[in-house]
Structure 1
Amino acid sequence: MSGDRCPVGYPLPWASAPDIPEGWTTLREQPLLEISLPSGEPALLVTRYKDVRRLFADERLSRNTFGRASRVSASNDLFGDPRIDNDPPRYLTERAVVMRAFSARRIEALRTVVKEIVEQLLDEMERGPQPAELMEAFAYPLPILVICHMLGVPPRDRAKFRRLIDGFLSVSRLPEDEVEECRRQYWDYLTELIDAKRAEPGDDLISELIEISREDPSKLTGYQLQHWVKTLLIAGYVTTASQLGTSMAVLLHRPEVAAELKADLPLVPSAVEELLRYQIMGTSLGTLRYAVEDIELLDGTTVIPKGSTVLLSQESNMDADEFENPLHLDIRRTENHHLTFGAGIHFCAGAALARMELQEATEGLLRRFPGLRLAVPGEQLKRPEGGFLAGYTEIPVSW
């Protein structure tokens, strides 16, 4: 890579409306882009779909970045932890344990619970004033209630853990001392929760993971157990909430597309996949990787140098070599192998749960409120600043 060009600030700025950033349209003209992270530190962005998909499985890209790679945030280590091995073979052992919780059978059994929660939240919306604020009334509480049910978090603790997670995910929104305090409190809270489950197990995922760890600590030590619970609570709440909110904003910003889906609700699964491809949780930040060797890309001439910090671009979901007319939102798209959940051994453990929640939430909203619409022009929707995810702070809706 040439060092004579100015790195591009990343993530690329979003337009005011729920539309794809203009910079995404030309991003793949070069397979590797020099970028500057929010911390001000450098990284390389892999832009093309085929490169990105291949590199998800390339062990020359390590996810053990702590202390050797650039940082997303100057004031927050986010997911960096020197005591956690995020590479094979250790990572695969832990992942295999956690993946038991996300079997197709278990997710389908949970669907009834999700339907009930969706209906309860819709009842409350219907009784409340209009316009309603979709994020607070629906998009945030749904995944919080689901993941807390799944992991066995007491209802009284839900508001507390949401506050701590929001602080944990600050990139530049909060000062360093506040971020550190949220991280400390979150870890202490998980310690207390897991200790309580050890003393009094329940029919929940934390209790199941504790039993696995007790039977064979080589599969999951106590520290690793706590790390995975922390990760699952964060991923199960905030990413799904952001994706749900941004998906509905994108959809309602296009009334003709929303009307098409309302008239044909069996299209909801394909619409959810297309919105996952198109909106990507409102953000383009992702997991950093570190090149332990030089890595040649598929064009045969571009090389990721050893020692580089690397991001695998989710904007590769807009690659015209992989998706026909990729900048067009097509809720009937059938060939949709997007990379929003990653790929291979780094495919998101909770993808099936997120998909199911998004399907039930989207279908429920459109069925209950066929007149659902944005209460303000899409151009007026505000995105938060300084967080890991860049969805919307508020989405006022009427019906």
Structure 2
Amino acid sequence: MAEPFPYPFPRPTALGIPEQIAGVHDDPLLPVVLPSGDEAVLLTRYRDVRQVLTDDRLSRNLSRPDAARISRNNSMFQDPRINPDPPEHTRVRSLVAKAFTATRVKKLEPQIHAIADELIDDMERTGGPVDLNEALAFPLPVRVICRLLGVPDEDVALFRHWTATFLSVSQFPAEEIKKSMADMSRYIAAHIEARRQDPGGDLVSAMIRAHDEEGRLSEYELQWWCRLLLLVGYETTATQLGGGVAMLLSHPDQLSLLREDPSLLPSAIEELLRWKIVGSSVSMLRYATDDIELENCTIKKGMSVIPAADCANQDPGQFPDPLSFDITRSENAHLTFSLGPHFCIGAALARAELRIATEALLNRFPTLRLAVPATDLKRIEGALLEGFTAIPVTW
């Protein structure tokens, strides 16, 4: 029997699709080994991935002793005190989701525009080259999420290191991860108490009311969800934003199409999302609580399974010429935001930030370009999200 493939798959270049994905659809259930050394199976075909994402027999609760782990050093998503499956997950999610409705996001758009313009003003004053990560891609979404959660602007800088350690697979030692988690927990406890004494219209205040007045959240759930939203509510968008701009700049034919016809921006954002610039699908790790029959294979009870959106998004059975980056692609039902009960609640906010920031950046700098060859861009190693070490741009 062949050895399982290491997953995440290596990339030929920072913006390139891993070579394994091109032929992976021949095997609907591909054995893989995770960074922890644990084995799992990769579900590769679009139809199968879409099916299981709505199947309650595939659990997100990874606290079981026989469930695969993503990392040896970090027990992310394996908290035994939090059940990430319905109905417990649904109960809490319904509270949080109210802050991310299309209507609420629409009301946030003027703030997103203002923050983006302020950051781009700073870029213009500084002059190129600049690192797009530090100039725009990270500051924008972290400031938006912090305002949404009622975190003071002066505390925004604290979250960069905490986020990096929280999302570490092998990037940081266990001791540093533990220390950052403790620092973060103390901050969140203090933030919750401050909002309890001085409530506002932010999401944390609403969650405190759900705990104190309505009893719909335990104290631990309140702190856990605040931590999760504060830390991962922005890094995915930041990585997608910076990498998405780099992708456009490295495809001058597609960039020209977009500049000639700005109405293509929404479809360009969706094509960039299909490309899943944030990285692999290792965070979608699941556990089968029963046998699940699929069209060409069976997921056996007790299997650790990754419904791989990165593979599904490149399935030629769903997307014509999938390895072609095409911002005019009209049928683009990618699975980057997942599906079903775990569909990303921040999808509408992420799309708004990606659209507003990309449009503002391209409008301000008609000659925007990468300051290094695209092949020189590097990804961060050992992190759950495969972010970029830097994205130098000039104009």
Q: What corresponds to 1:150 in structure 2?
A: 148
Q: Aligned with 2:20: secondary structure?
A: helix
Q: What corresponds to 1:131 in structure 2?
A: 129
Q: What corresponds to 1:166 in structure 2?
A: 164
8 Å Cα contact 2:281-2:307 kept in structure 1: no
**C-alpha separation in 1, matches of 2:167 and 2:340:** 26
8 Å Cα contact 2:60-2:85 kept in structure 1: yes
Specify whether residues 184 and 375 from structure 1 end up closer, same or farther in structure 2 by C-alpha distance, changes over 3 A only.
Answer: same
Q: What corresponds to 1:295 in structure 2?
A: 292
Q: Aligned with 1:26: secondary structure?
A: helix
8 Å Cα contact 1:283-1:391 kept in structure 2: no
Q: Does 1:15 align with 2:12?
A: yes
Specify whether residues 129 and 245 from structure 1 end up closer, same or farther in structure 2 by C-alpha distance, changes over 3 A only.
Answer: same
**C-alpha separation in 2, matches of 1:252 and 1:331:** 13
User: 1:8-54 CA distances to partner (integer Å, 9 max, x unpaired)?
Assistant: 00000011251211111001111000000011110111000111011
User: 1:167-226 CA distances to partner (integer Å, 9 max, x unpaired)?
Assistant: 111111111100111111111211111111001112211111111222221x22221122
**C-alpha separation in 2, matches of 1:385 and 1:287:** 19
Q: What corresponds to 2:303 in structure 1?
A: 308
User: 1:131-171 CA distances to partner (integer Å, 9 max, x unpaired)?
Assistant: 11101111010111100011011112111122211111111
**C-alpha separation in 2, matches of 1:138 and 1:328:** 27
Q: Within 5 A, what are the aligned runs for 1:229-244?
A: 229-244=226-241
Structure 1 ranges of 4+ moved more than 3 A: none
User: 1:269-297 CA distances to partner (integer Å, 9 max, x unpaired)?
Assistant: 11101100013413332222111112222
What one-letter code is carried by the residue in structure 2 that aligns with 1:304? I
8 Å Cα contact 1:57-1:343 kept in structure 2: yes
Q: What corresponds to 1:383 in structure 2?
A: 379
Q: What corresponds to 2:182 in structure 1?
A: 184
**C-alpha separation in 1, matches of 2:153 and 2:161:** 14
8 Å Cα contact 2:159-2:231 kept in structure 1: no
Q: What corresponds to 1:89 in structure 2?
A: 87
Q: Aligned with 2:180: secondary structure?
A: helix
What one-letter code is carried by the residue in structure 2 that aligns with 1:55? V
Q: Aligned with 1:279: secondary structure?
A: coil
**C-alpha separation in 2, matches of 1:163 and 1:391:** 14
**C-alpha separation in 2, matches of 1:278 and 1:60:** 28
Q: What corresponds to 2:57 in structure 1?
A: 60
Q: What corresponds to 2:315 in structure 1?
A: 319
8 Å Cα contact 1:297-1:304 kept in structure 2: yes
- Count of residues paired in the alignment: 393
Percent of paired sites with the same residue? 48
8 Å Cα contact 1:75-1:175 kept in structure 2: yes
Instruction: After TM superposition, give the deviation of residue 391 of structure 1 in Å.
Output: 2.2
8 Å Cα contact 1:44-1:308 kept in structure 2: yes
**C-alpha separation in 2, matches of 1:280 and 1:134:** 15
**Superposition TM-score, scaled by structure 2 size:** 0.97
**C-alpha separation in 2, matches of 1:177 and 1:54:** 39
Which one of 196, 200, 205 corresponds to residue 202 of structure 1? Answer: 200
**C-alpha separation in 2, matches of 1:264 and 1:382:** 31
* Backbone CA RMSD of aligned residues: 1.2
8 Å Cα contact 1:61-1:290 kept in structure 2: yes
8 Å Cα contact 2:145-2:230 kept in structure 1: yes
Q: What corresponds to 2:354 in structure 1?
A: 358
What one-letter code is carried by the residue in structure 2 that aligns with 1:358? L
Q: Does 1:329 align with 2:329?
A: no
Q: Aligned with 2:275: secondary structure?
A: helix
What one-letter code is carried by the residue in structure 1 that aligns with 2:51? R
8 Å Cα contact 2:131-2:390 kept in structure 1: yes
Instruction: After TM superposition, give the deviation of residue 305 of structure 1 in Å.
Output: 1.7
Q: Aligned with 1:311: secondary structure?
A: strand
Q: What corresponds to 1:193 in structure 2?
A: 191
Q: Aligned with 2:325: secondary structure?
A: coil
Q: Aligned with 2:283: secondary structure?
A: coil
Q: What corresponds to 2:104 in structure 1?
A: 106
Instruction: After TM superposition, give the deviation of residue 377 of structure 1 in Å.
Output: 0.6
**Superposition TM-score, scaled by structure 1 size:** 0.96
8 Å Cα contact 1:236-1:354 kept in structure 2: no
8 Å Cα contact 1:152-1:205 kept in structure 2: yes
8 Å Cα contact 2:62-2:77 kept in structure 1: no
8 Å Cα contact 1:19-1:250 kept in structure 2: no
Unpaired runs of 5+ in structure 2? none
Q: Aligned with 1:282: secondary structure?
A: coil
8 Å Cα contact 2:163-2:232 kept in structure 1: no
Unpaired runs of 5+ in structure 1? none
Q: Within 5 A, what are the aligned runs for 1:66-77?
A: 66-68=63-65, 69-77=67-75
